[in-house]
Amino acid sequence: MPTPSRLLPVAGPPTRVRRDAAANSDRILCAAVELVQSEGVDAITMDRVAERAGVGKGTVFRAFGSRSGLLAALTDETERDFQRGMLQGAPPLGPGAAPLDRLLAFGEGRLRLHAVHGQLFREIARTPTGKYDVPARQVSMTHVRMLLRQLGVDAHLEVLSEALVGTLDADVVSQLLERGLSEAELIAGWRDLVLRLVGGCRP
């Protein structure tokens, strides 16, 4: 995994070399995102990304170490954006909305991300135990547990949040899409699941 300093602004006046490296990294990440969006994650090779970014292949290796380093950096960017939305973005995903609306928006947002980044997420989580160690998943679990607590759920938080977050995991979503469900049906299913779980009695 690349260190965050490669992607976030560094303190102090950057040297010319560092500025150039950062510009190259940005260009490479942009090229990679475009490739994923147009052709899927399988299109990501060091050669093709270098070609599209207009840099040498050696530059891609220097910036990201390996193909999986590049994929991790791509996912990091996406996940950081999403987390910013959760923690300080606009409602209903961000603070300010009611917990139930935030929970609904959270799942809907994850499901929409899947269309573009699902293959990437799957590749990152490929090892069976690794899936649970992915930092973004742990952030999701923490967020869902917090919202469940705010909704007055105070027992079995681990099992209930696994049931919720689990249905948003890339491998599960891919499975459901392969079985013929549309993104809209997944989002409607998520809403139904959440409302059944925490919507409670509405006589």
Q: Which residues bind its own copies (CB under 8 A)?
A: 122, 125-129, 131-132, 155-156, 158-160, 162-164, 166-167, 171-172, 175-176, 179, 181, 185-186, 188-190, 192-193, 196-198, 201-203
Smallest distance, its own copies to C-beta of residue 140, A: 14
| CB nearer to its own copies: pick between 31 and 105 | 105
Smallest distance, its own copies to C-beta of residue 156, A: 4
Smallest distance, its own copies to C-beta of residue 110, A: 13
Structure tokens, 161: 């949040």
Smallest distance, its own copies to C-beta of residue 138, A: 11
| CB nearer to its own copies: pick between 12 and 203 | 203
Smallest distance, its own copies to C-beta of residue 108, A: 13
Q: What angle do CA 29, 34, 35 make, to 5 degrees?
A: 95
ω into 135 cis (within 30 of 0)? no
Q: What angle do CA 1, 80, 51 make, to 5 degrees?
A: 60
Q: Are 131 and 169 contacting, i.e. CB atoms less than 8 angstroms apart? A: yes
Smallest distance, its own copies to C-beta of residue 191, A: 9
| CB nearer to its own copies: pick between 49 and 124 | 124
Q: Are 124 and 171 contacting, i.e. CB atoms less than 8 angstroms apart? A: no
Q: Which of 137, 109, 102, 107 is nearest to 122 (CA)?
A: 137
| CB nearer to its own copies: pick between 15 and 175 | 175
Tally of CB atoms within 10 A around 82: 20
DSSP for residue 199: I
Q: Please state the separation of Cα 97 from the chain's center in Å.
A: 21
| CB nearer to its own copies: pick between 116 and 157 | 157
Residue 16 Cα distances to 24, 29, 58, 129, angstroms: 12, 20, 19, 42
| CB nearer to its own copies: pick between 51 and 171 | 171
- Strand-pairing partners, residue 95, are 97
